[in-house]
Amino acid sequence: AQTVTQSQPEMSVQEAETVTLSCTYDTSESDYYLFWYKQPPSRQMILVIRQEAYKQQNATENRFSVNFQKAAKSFSLKISDSQLGDAAMYFCAYYGGATNKLIFGTGTLLAVQP
């Protein structure tokens, strides 16, 4: 069965600094998708970034980028120039065709210090 692990329950970063959130997963599938979602205090789930497993190039979205290591089954999120609005719970998620559903990690609560 597929699993997603986020080993950092909480992280803190200074405003304007860079932070990296870790995520590892386990799967036997070769074709799948990985996502990072942000859940601010409003609790609305917001897609931050997605990565297709067949793409070797790491996805980037403005200040957000990922380090996708397929062989190591690692999918970390880097937030550059952190802003106060980045403070939220971040969930790593996996989607594969075998289950047709998202599998979430336990989340990392990110605090941004002014």
Partner 1 sequence: GAVVSQHPSWVICKSGTSVKIECRSLDFQATTMFWYRQFPKQSLMLMATSNEGSKATYEQGVEKDKFLINHASLTLSTLTVTSAHPEDSSFYICSAGVYNEQFFGPGTRLTVL
Rounded to a whole number of angstroms, the minimum distance from the CB of residue 1 to partner 1 is 12
111 counts as binding partner 1 under rule CB under 8 A: no
Rounded to a whole number of angstroms, the minimum distance from the CB of residue 102 to partner 1 is 6
Rounded to a whole number of angstroms, the minimum distance from the CB of residue 16 to partner 1 is 27
Instruction: Give the count of alpha carbons within 13 A of 99, CB side only.
Output: 15
62 counts as binding partner 1 under rule CB under 8 A: no
Q: Helix or strand or coil: residue 86? A: helix
64 counts as binding partner 1 under rule CB under 8 A: no
101 counts as binding partner 1 under rule CB under 8 A: yes
43 counts as binding partner 1 under rule CB under 8 A: yes
Burial class (CB in 10 A: 0-12, 13-18, 19+), 36: buried
Determine the residue type at 5: T
45 counts as binding partner 1 under rule CB under 8 A: yes
The strand pair at 10-14 and 108-113 is best described as parallel
Q: Which is nearer to partner 1, 13 or 91 (CB)?
A: 91
Q: Which is nearer to partner 1, 51 or 82 (CB)?
A: 51
Sign, CA torsion 12/16/18/20 = positive
